[in-house]
Structure 1
């Protein structure tokens, strides 16, 4: 009886302490872990959000880039962190594809995290080196098919947005060609700019400035409708390629067991950030925008993640990709 009483008192004390901690949260800086290299598209989104959230939360949100294994190293780190709200994860679509791309994960994207809200959906662009011979997307596809043994496609590594987009591209045109994985978007883009690789499919957050400057050629966007930032750039469907529509969404996560009041504060700061005019303007310049407010709740985020995991499992299996 005494042992049970001690246990009950200890549990009550823990609950009280957790509640009190949640009420005063945050009392120190928060680490936002980003799974990809500094300067890449996900990093750009994360730093914009972190800067705005810092103002709302009254504590600095420090970005930490933890790269490798398609984002799974960063995700595992956050999944196993203390569930106190001081270590959070900003991840993209890779959170939904990891179960299909990797045989062994030390976390489950659905059960190892508390979802804290969707951030943005970034369109993808099919781009090529500046002196690529094709004039438009249709002739690009024809050129690739005629020269598939000579063409190479850059990506930022397994599980990256550019990897997924490139995989769908090859599947959509029913043509396989050489894929060159890099350790991040920056090195891949540098080689595209230098003409060492031919093609890349990447987020507008990474390609827009290079397209506008004429340093690379843009052939199509992978969205159902054209983009305001590139009104003359056709969609892949308009250009005659079906089943090649993809955008890269981003979301915030905390370790499973993070108190709901803490999640609510993180989510509240995110919502403020997505209405921040500086964030809106910077997103627009990168060819994207914040998600609609009705999609920013933790509940909607979790439902969306679940549906994306199921969708990408089918796509990856149909593409014949074997898990690593």
Structure 2
């Protein structure tokens, strides 16, 4: 038989084999790698989604926490995993900032993964210690600009959402503030509650309960519209900061080379999860909501990730912030 015919038959056999494999997927437990410690906002989102996807896929979907280096250790592990649909990756906005923040990455934020779909956009809130002098966001901006050498801004470390929001804020008001980095949102919030630092910008998933209890002051949310769980807090645009907008989005990925039928199957399971009444209720309690169905797709996710990399790279480079 001619070589060309043999190659054609081999190709047909491979396609048929892949299709059959994908049709039976999954046949065992699926693991979702979260590149942060358990108990954080990304971990919470992952566990809610994984629990719901388990029902659709008829196999257990579990979460494994692989923290360290701003999420890049977990990302690198998934990038090197077998592209069989059994090792997935759930990450937040950090997937789009890592290329600019880290001088050397063992993976490519776009080319090393197959995007499955976006999950949710978590709003950020500008909050301060309970006795901070500023009464509203306009006064906050004026106060920090006038006292920038004295005011302390807390963040959860290089590459964290609070760090990124702070950089964008400082760029917007054209002022360099004294920043105090922590090893996570927990200790940063503890010091804000204790009055050791002045203010920070953090996700509603971490601030809503503290705001409602009156333990901290809230000045603005960083979305175009007000947040349903915090309706009394104005947006940054309403408060006078123009087009300032930051949302901590979360997305689901598979390793590059994962067969399209499997990616599509996972995307459909994700879309079902985002319509799950329990997921929607828990998201609402955390101050967020699932993305629209047309954003929970591979193509939409890929395009959005690229746009976010293009958005954050010049901001990070201008700030001169790098992590090894």
TM over 0.5: yes
Q: Give the CA deviation at 1:13.
A: 5.8
- What pairs up with 1:73-152 in 2 under 5 angstroms? 73-152=73-152
> Whole-Å Cα distance in 2 between the matches of residues 254 and 155 of structure 1?
30
Q: Using the TM superposition, name which of 21-30 and 309-318 deviates more.
A: 309-318
* Mapped contact 1:128–1:199 kept (Cα < 8 A): yes
> Whole-Å Cα distance in 1 between the matches of residues 299 and 240 of structure 2?
37
> Whole-Å Cα distance in 1 between the matches of residues 283 and 130 of structure 2?
25
Cα deviations by residue, 1:249-284 (Å, 9 ceiling, x for unpaired): 111100000111111111111001000011111111
Aligned partner of 1:309 in structure 2 is 309
Aligned partner of 1:197 in structure 2 is 197
Q: Give the CA deviation at 1:35.
A: 1.7
> Whole-Å Cα distance in 2 between the matches of residues 196 and 37 of structure 1?
24
Normalising by structure 1, we get a TM-score of 0.92
- What pairs up with 1:34-53 in 2 under 5 angstroms? 34-53=34-53
- State whether structure 2 residue 245 is matched by structure 1 residue 242: no
> Whole-Å Cα distance in 1 between the matches of residues 158 and 4 of structure 2?
51
Normalising by structure 2, we get a TM-score of 0.92
Q: Give the CA deviation at 1:130.
A: 2.2
Structure 1 residues not aligned, in runs of 5+: none
Q: Using the TM superposition, name which of 276-285 and 32-41 deviates more.
A: 32-41
Q: Using the TM superposition, name which of 124-133 and 255-264 deviates more.
A: 124-133
Aligned partner of 1:207 in structure 2 is 207
> Whole-Å Cα distance in 2 between the matches of residues 5 and 72 of structure 1?
45
* Mapped contact 2:103–2:322 kept (Cα < 8 A): no
Q: Give the CA deviation at 1:322.
A: 4.5
- What pairs up with 1:218-229 in 2 under 5 angstroms? 218-229=218-229
Q: Give the CA deviation at 1:321.
A: 3.4
Q: Give the CA deviation at 1:15.
A: 4.7
* Mapped contact 1:78–1:89 kept (Cα < 8 A): yes
* Mapped contact 1:88–1:252 kept (Cα < 8 A): yes
Q: Give the CA deviation at 1:108.
A: 0.7
* Mapped contact 1:117–1:295 kept (Cα < 8 A): yes
* Mapped contact 2:31–2:87 kept (Cα < 8 A): yes
* Mapped contact 1:168–1:319 kept (Cα < 8 A): no
Aligned partner of 1:61 in structure 2 is 61
Equivalent position SS for 1:302: helix
Equivalent position SS for 2:257: coil
Equivalent position SS for 2:122: strand
Q: Give the CA deviation at 1:59.
A: 1.5
> Whole-Å Cα distance in 1 between the matches of residues 69 and 179 of structure 2?
17
Number of matched pairs: 324
Q: Give the CA deviation at 1:18.
A: 3.4
Equivalent position SS for 1:37: coil
Equivalent position SS for 1:253: strand
Equivalent position SS for 2:50: helix
> Whole-Å Cα distance in 2 between the matches of residues 4 and 185 of structure 1?
59
Q: Using the TM superposition, name which of 41-50 and 140-149 deviates more.
A: 140-149
